[in-house]
Amino acid sequence: MILLQDLGQAFGNLRAQKTRTLLTALGIVFGVGSVIGMMAIGAGAKEETLRFIEQLGVRNVLIDSRQATSQQEFQERRRSSPGLSMRDLRILKTNIDAVENMSARRTMRPLRVLPKPSRDIPDLYGVHPEYQAIHSLQFAEGGFFTEQDNLKSSTVCVLGETAKVSLLGYDPAVGKHIKINDTWMEVVGVLKGQLVTSSQSRGGSMPDINNIVYIPLNTFEFRFYDQSAYMRDDLDGIELRLKERADSIEVAKVVTAVLNSTHKNTSDFTVTIPAALLAQQQRTQTIFTYVMVAIAAISLLVGGIGIMNIVLATVMERTREIGIRRSVGARRLDIIRQFLTESVLISASGGLLGVGFGFFLAWLIAQTAQWSTIVTPMSVGVAFGVSVAVGVVFGVYPAVKASRINPIDALRYE
């Protein structure tokens, strides 16, 4: 009953000063909204990073050829290293027991594709059938080509989601044919959409992983000629999937040592470890989130100072009221509770409005900046809890000061 009476009295006092109360609460509203918005950006970026790295495969080791930037650099490399080749694939397969699946990769941009694509010409990837298991590719139609298709250099292909829509529209594609340069290829599978990174979605330089046509590696080698292959290695990459209990970082060190030996320590390749990349991204993302939340929390601090300021002003304005209440028997604790309830009510109502503003801010950022944002229950709980705590912390001093006013002096106050 006492709590309800305090709340009713505090609500009535605040309603009597609507404009002042609203302006005071705005600091909390913006502070809570900013904290939720910043944490939503951090959670969205973390989720996107996790999904993208999981798509690469946390048990994978990815080897990519480094293309020479000039003819002179290419010639210097060739004096000591043959570049990434099938020989490296065989050596790695023979010497590393932790490998479960392995696939070479060759890529090119076709000159002509029929039907004429409605978007950019898709890239052509020549890979082994194990590529599907390495990257855990999911299918909307059909399946991946087989080892028999690779051995026979069969004219079959698998389309990425964007490539399928661009070439064949939205109708079923399995069994249809497309022409790449001078070779007709039968579609045996269509992949589900894969996660595209933010840089790709905003038109970055990275290739669209959904706009790819996959064909058997032997088909690529025997039926296609890449005129842009000058100054490039025989292979563009080698993908390794490790056994379940293998340590990807240790295996990557062995892979690097083996390739350094066969390439005579020539820096013409890179080794990427998605598992290590995942750990690094998580650490970076955590620091990034902490920094953003700390910056946003300054708004809450400013809002708390505003609450203290307005409650102190209210104490001065209501000095005579305090004297009257003390003279009729109100204790110091009653006075403290009265003003503390008002400050908490301001911060709590501002926190509730701030939660709504935070959801709107997260939505607005997602729509305008094309960033993934996720509002988590934890971010809402933390932001609202802090807003209430701010009301308590910054309301204590004015409440205590009000309780210490001498009743006789308060009754004489004008």
Give the model confidence (pLDDT) of 58-108 as tens digits: 788 899 998 888 888 888 888 888 889 999 999 999 988 889 999 999 999
Q: Quick one: which H or E segment has residue 133?
A: helix 131-134
**Domain segments of the chain as ranges:** 2-52+280-412, 58-274
If you average pLDDT over residues 187-195, what whole number do you get?
87
| Banded pLDDT at 202 (limits 50, 70, 90) | very low
Residue 240: closest CA among 93, 87, 91? 93
pLDDT score for 311: 77
Find out whether 370 and 202 touch, Cβ atoms under 8 Å: yes
The total number of residues written for the chain in this structure? 414
Reading the block at residue 293, the tokens are: 């939340």
Query: Phi and psi of 387, rounded to 5°?
Result: -65, -40
Q: Quick one: which H or E segment has residue 340?
A: helix 332-369
pLDDT score for 201: 42
pLDDT score for 52: 64
Single pTM value for the model: 0.61
If you average pLDDT over residues 313-324, what whole number do you get?
74
Residue pLDDT, tens place only, 273-292? 876 666 666 677 677 777 77
Residue pLDDT, tens place only, 123-166? 999 999 999 988 888 899 999 999 999 999 999 999 999 999 99
What's the rounded Cα separation, in Å, for the pair 58 and 341? 52
* Residue-by-residue DSSP string for 144-205: ---HHHHHTT--EEEE-HHHHHHHHTTS--TT-EEEETTEEEEEEEEEPPPP--HHHHTT-S
Residue 113 has pLDDT above 90, yes or no: yes
pLDDT score for 219: 94
Residue 405 has pLDDT above 50, yes or no: yes
pLDDT score for 198: 44
Reading the block at residue 280, the tokens are: 């690094």
If you average pLDDT over residues 20-43, what whole number do you get?
82
Q: Taking all residues of the chain, what is their mean pLDDT, rounded to a whole number?
A: 82
Q: How buried is residue 355: exposed, middle or buried, by Cβ count under 10 Å (0-12/13-18/19+)?
A: buried
Reading the block at residue 198, the tokens are: 């933010």
pLDDT score for 374: 86
If you average pLDDT over residues 160-187, what whole number do you get?
93
**Which residue is listed with tokens 């790709």?**
200
Find out whether 71 and 400 touch, Cβ atoms under 8 Å: no
What's the rounded Cα separation, in Å, for the pair 162 and 176? 16
Q: How buried is residue 182: exposed, middle or buried, by Cβ count under 10 Å (0-12/13-18/19+)?
A: exposed
